[in-house]
């Protein structure tokens, strides 16, 4: 069997796509899987690192204001659809998966116009524009949240949860503390700003370093590549107190295992990982995303008393008051952990691949 998986742009699209590919390959080692991404975006490096081939399209999103780039947008889309069509005719996939992001639209358009079965995987509680536009062209739409009928045809929806690496929840605390050089007798705070980092979280964390040291809290602070040089300088005087700035955390299983409390953006992948690992969490939704979908993701948890919410604009004044109060309240941590675990979908990846294979076998 042959499959094309398209989309990307951020880790929230890329890592679920890789999880789907890994599950297909686990079941069918002989399956051929090709990724299609956008040139210049992070999938062009992350996907090959995961062991898969990828082809890039010259495609980018619409700007939110009138710019010369927007005038070229229709031409770029037409060229991308034409290239995607040639790729599909040469590769001849049995089915196509779109995970959102710039490259997803041309591939899904090209595939569905040729009668190739297609599946969309929507990670967020507020559907992305590309997925909404293409929903009636595909046979199956796998979603992570209930109530998505307001965006998609109900007869094509399957509530699966988001595909995440299940091994993310397998880390052992003793190993994790040794890996990061942490003290088992002191609480650990994990700060994750998404694959690209988060300016607001980084600024608030840098300002809070003396407070964390005074409170005896240990810190794993994932800064993102852009912010790391400055964050490393800010954290250096606090290294002896185990307050550590990290550019990127590759062993997230151990980072979660070490953490007593997590501060995070509310991207779909991050939220799904927090549910699976059952971590008491403070969510700070990014305001710089389409349709404010991170706030909607966060509210889906906070309305179930499964996480705390601090608005981005209020993070500077409130985030570390909230974090330190939670770190000092084990009973509240246990309550949040129990509630967030109820929202996990540990079989999400397997269910999505089940739906994909149903499309193939019906053809």
Q: Is 11 annotated as belonging to a binding site?
A: yes
Q: Are residues 179 and 238 in the same domain?
A: yes
Question: If you search the block for the tokens 């948890």, which residue do you land on?
Answer: 301
In percent, the amount of the chain with pLDDT more than 70 equals 94
Task: State how far the Cα of 278 lies from the Cα of 157, in Å rounded to an integer.
Answer: 26
Say if residue 151 is in the same domain as residue 173. no
Q: What is the pLDDT of residues 87-112, one digit of tens each?
A: 999 999 999 999 988 789 999 999 99
CB-CB neighbours of 186 under 10 Å: 14
pLDDT band, very low/low/confident/very high, at 66 (cuts 50, 70, 90): low
Q: Could you give the percent of the chain with pLDDT greater than 90?
A: 76
* pLDDT for residue 52 is more than 90: yes
213 in a labelled binding site: no
171 is in an annotated binding site: no
Q: Are residues 73 and 96 in the same domain?
A: yes
31 is in an annotated binding site: no
Any binding-site annotation on 269? yes
pLDDT of residue 316: 94
- My answer on whether 7 and 154 are in the same domain is yes
Residues 123 and 249 in one domain: no
Q: Residue 220: give its domain's CATH number.
A: 3.40.50.2000
Q: Is 222 annotated as a binding residue?
A: no
- 172 labeled binding residue: no
- Same domain for 220 and 355, yes or no, is no
Q: State the virtual CA torsion across 73, 75, 80, 85 in degrees, nearest 10.
A: 140
Same domain, 156 and 77: yes
**Residue 61: which pLDDT band, with cuts at 50, 70 and 90?**
low
271 in a known ligand binding site? yes
Question: Is 268 annotated as belonging to a binding site?
Answer: yes
Q: Are residues 141 and 183 in the same domain?
A: no
pLDDT band at 129 (very low <50, low <70, confident <90, very high): confident
Residue 354, pLDDT score: 97
User: Do 226 and 110 belong together in one domain?
Assistant: no
301-352 residue pLDDT tens: 999 999 999 999 999 999 999 999 999 999 999 999 999 999 999 999 999 9
Q: Is 12 annotated as a binding residue?
A: yes
> What whole-number distance in Å separates Cα of residue 258 and Cα of residue 254?
6
d(CA 264, CA 137): 35
Q: How many domains does the chain have?
A: 2
The set of residues, in sequence order, having a beta carbon less than 8 Å from that of 112 and lying 6+ positions away, is: 118, 134, 137, 138
Please indicate if the annotation marks 165 as binding a ligand: yes
The confidence score (pLDDT) of residue 63 equals: 47
pLDDT of 123 > 70? The answer is yes
Burial 269-290 (b: 16+ CB within 10 A, else e): bbbbbbbbbbbbbbbbbbeebe
Do 106 and 200 share a domain, yes or no?
no
Residue 73: pLDDT over 80: no
Q: Any binding-site annotation on 273? A: yes
Instruction: Say which residue, 62 or 30, is predicted with more confidence.
Output: 30
The answer to whether residues 7 and 127 belong to one domain is yes
| Rounded Cα distance, 131 and 138, in Å | 10
Residue 294 known to bind ligand: yes
> What is the mean predicted confidence (pLDDT) over 255-278?
95
Q: What is the mean pLDDT of residues 173-179?
A: 97
Grade residue 67 by pLDDT with cuts at 50, 70 and 90.
Answer: low
Indicate if 171 and 97 belong to the same structural domain: no
- On the CB side of 287, CA atoms within 13 Å amount to 9
Per-residue pLDDT, 218: 98
**Domain range for residue 63?**
2-162+346-362
Residue with tokens 């999938």: 43
Q: What are phi and psi of 264, to 5 degrees?
A: -150, 155
Structure tokens at 327: 């770190």
């Amino acid at each position: 069997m042959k499959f094309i998986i398209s989309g990307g742009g951020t880790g929230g699209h890329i890592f679920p796509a890789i999880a789907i590919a890994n599950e297909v390959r686990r079941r069918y080692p002989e399956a051929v899987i090709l990724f299609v991404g956008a040139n210049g975006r992070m999938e062009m490096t992350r996907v090959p690192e995961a062991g898969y081939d990828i082809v890039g399209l010259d495609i980018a999103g619409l700007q939110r204001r009138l710019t010369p780039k927007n005038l070229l947008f229709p031409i770029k889309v037409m060229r991308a659809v034409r290239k995607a069509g040639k790729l599909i005719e040469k590769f001849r996939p049995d089915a196509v998966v779109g995970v959102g992001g710039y490259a997803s639209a041309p591939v899904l358009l090209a595939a569905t116009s040729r009668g190739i079965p297609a599946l969309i995987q929507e990670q967020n509680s507020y559907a992305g524009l590309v997925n909404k536009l293409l929903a009636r062209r595909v046979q199956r739409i796998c979603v992570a949240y209930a109530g998505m009928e307001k965006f998609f045809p109900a007869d094509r929806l399957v509530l699966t949860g988001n595909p995440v690496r299940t091994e993310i929840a397998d880390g052992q605390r003793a190993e994790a503390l040794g890996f990061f050089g942490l003290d088992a007798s002191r609480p650990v705070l994990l700060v994750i700003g998404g694959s690209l980092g988060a300016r607001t979280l980084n600024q608030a964390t840098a300002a809070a370093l003396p407070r964390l040291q005074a409170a005896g809290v240990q810190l794993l602070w994932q800064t993102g590549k852009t912010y790391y040089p400055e964050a490393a300088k800010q954290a250096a005087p606090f290294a002896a107190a185990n307050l550590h700035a990290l550019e990127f955390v590759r062993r997230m299983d151990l980072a979660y295992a070490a953490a007593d409390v997590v501060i995070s953006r509310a991207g779909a992948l991050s939220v799904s990982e927090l549910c699976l690992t059952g971590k008491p969490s403070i969510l700070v939704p990014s305001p710089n995303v389409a349709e404010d979908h991170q706030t909607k993701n966060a509210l889906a948890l906070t309305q179930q008393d499964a996480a705390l919410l601090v608005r981005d604009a209020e993070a500077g004044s409130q985030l570390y008051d909230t974090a330190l109060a939670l770190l000092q309240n084990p009973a509240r941590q246990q309550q949040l952990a129990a509630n967030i675990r109820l929202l996990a979908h540990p079989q999400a990846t397997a269910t999505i691949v089940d739906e994909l294979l149903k499309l193939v076998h019906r053809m």
